[in-house]
Amino acid sequence: MATKQLKDPVHGYIELDEALVERVVDTRPFQRLRYVRQLSATYLVYPGANHTRFEHSLGVYHLGRTVFENLRTQSYFTRNTDTETLDEIQRTLECACLLHDVGHPPFSHLAERFLDTDDLRARLDDRGLLAAFADAGLGDGPIRDASPHELLGCLVVLREYADTIADLGADPFEVCAYVLGYSLVYERGGPWQFGLGAQLLHSPIDVDRLDYITRDNRMTGADVLSFDTDRMIDAYTAHPEEGLALSDKALSTIGNYLEGRIALYMWVTQHHKSVYANVLLREMLVELDGVADASPVTVDAVLDDEIDDNTLMEAFRTTARDNSDSTLAALYDRFRARRFPKTCWKHRIAYADRVDADLDAFGDWLLDNRSRLRDALADRLDLPRYDVWIERSYVPEYEPAELKDIPIAYGGTTRSVGDWGLYGERAFDTPIPFVFVPDGSKDRATELLVEQFHAEQE
């Protein structure tokens, strides 16, 4: 089959079959991802963070294909499985990797809250996906637990690419299952390698994470990650009972991967100004939804109108202009001019220095009561509510416990990296909440919050 090459700044040349380029990549739903930033508003902190879901999807495809082709050279992996079956699994994985983010609305995760998940489940039911999961013995749990962008992605797959996927030698329902982290074929008693393909896209060592971690580090310029990606790719292995794992080849680089992954989270997505930039963008969406005649982010708007980051930025501009006295206009002006308020503390050292309380308990109290405390603080400081924020990063936390579950294979069994002693006695930072107030108010804000916390604990 003829192939084409695309040059990627992270992985070098990415090779795709011409059929995938013509029938998937060069189509309007996939090209829309060129205009959906991977890190939402983080480019206001790291100017280079303009990479999109488009190149990330290509990177995940490249890594998935490379790892699977490496697995096919391992005799244990191919034993008792014919080439035709392995070809089907590979094509399923390639399609799923390419299309796993095709359902992302504008601004990636920030706009997911506006997608109607009940409507998405009903549409997927109409197209037979729920029945396919039930037939495999999985029930509706995978559909019920899926994120909005994953559900919308499955709908795009079945609506726009079902015939293409079938023509390429894969099952559209199985591609959707991979997107959600399952294999229908495996659950029905098929070859174990089908389940392994799903793990490559959904597991502690999946290629989705591997791409966005390396890509976010490279494109932001944060340079907090230093590990041998090629060696890690070569270390992937698998076992019928143990599933996907890394061989002991990875021992020389996995420690750097673990530490770099947390560092990237702490200093890029959990950077205090990144948190504020994305909170501001989220609140602009909420205000736009309240001012506009119809919700700016809907399933049909993504499917039929192909809305993206640019669409909503223009909506912000025109709506703010036409409603100059609105909260949206004030927030939009702040966003465009990048006038960010101060945070009461920028990092854990300052947090510990300024908060005279149990930090974990204080942080939980802040986040559990953020709306009430925000109102009270705005009132005590005589500020508009939109000048006070209590937040932390919207990006899911990279829990150390999850990282310790990364499996390392040796001698026919697997053990987690924690069992191998790769962590030692080190403890990793966890996210802290931030309190944003106008310049000149942070000391008083901190004092008021600490006083109220102690009063409520008595």
CATH number reported for the structural domain that contains residue 196 in this entry:
1.10.3210.10
* Alpha helices, DSSP H, located in 267-308: 272-291, 299-303
pLDDT value at position 412?
76
Asked, for residue 228, whether it belongs to a domain, the answer is: yes
Beta strand pairing call for 236-239 and 12-17: unpaired
In whole angstroms, what is the distance from residue 277 CA to residue 299 CA?
25
In whole angstroms, what is the distance from residue 23 CA to residue 267 CA?
39
Tell me the pLDDT tens digit for each residue of 49-77.
Answer: 999 999 999 999 999 999 999 999 999 89
Token pair, residue 247, equals: 């061989």
Burial class (CB in 10 A: 0-12, 13-18, 19+), 338: exposed
Question: What is each CA distance from 259 to 54, 69, 266, 394, in whole angstroms?
Answer: 27, 28, 11, 20
Residue pair 276/434 in contact by the 8 Å Cβ criterion = yes
User: What's the sign of the alpha-carbon dihedral 219, 204, 426, 414?
Assistant: negative
- Identity of residue 103: G
**How many domains does the chain fold into?**
1
Burial class (CB in 10 A: 0-12, 13-18, 19+), 241: exposed
pLDDT value at position 425?
52
Asked, for residue 157, whether it belongs to a domain, the answer is: yes
Asked, for residue 414, whether it belongs to a domain, the answer is: no
Which residue range is the domain that position 201 belongs to? 3-269
Burial class (CB in 10 A: 0-12, 13-18, 19+), 70: middle
Beta strand pairing call for 413-416 and 342-343: unpaired
Helical (H) or strand (E) element with 342? strand 342-343
Asked, for residue 32, whether it belongs to a domain, the answer is: yes
Helical (H) or strand (E) element with 409? strand 407-410
Burial class (CB in 10 A: 0-12, 13-18, 19+), 309: buried
In whole angstroms, what is the distance from residue 278 CA to residue 269 CA?
9
Q: Which residue has the tokens 């959600």?
A: 180
Strand partners, 237: 245
Asked, for residue 323, whether it belongs to a domain, the answer is: no
Residues of the chain short of pLDDT 70, as ranges, are: 395-404, 420-429
Asked, for residue 41, whether it belongs to a domain, the answer is: yes
Instruction: Report the candidate in 169, 210, 240 with the shortest Cα–Cα distance to residue 23.
Output: 169
CA atoms within 13 A on the CB side of 397: 11
**What DSSP string describes 42-69?**
GGGTSTT---BHHHHHHHHHHHHHHHHH
DSSP code of residue 37: B
Residues in the chain: 458
Asked, for residue 334, whether it belongs to a domain, the answer is: no
Asked, for residue 447, whether it belongs to a domain, the answer is: no
Q: Give percent helix, percent strand, percent coil of the chain, each to the nearest 5.
A: 60, 10, 30
Instruction: Report the candidate in 131, 113, 111 with the shortest Cα–Cα distance to residue 121.
Output: 131
pLDDT value at position 339?
95
In whole angstroms, what is the distance from residue 243 CA to residue 260 CA?
25
User: What's the sign of the alpha-carbon dihedral 204, 207, 208, 211?
Assistant: positive
- C-beta neighbour count of 192 within 10 angstroms: 16
- Our CA angle for 213, 115, 101, nearest 5°, is 30
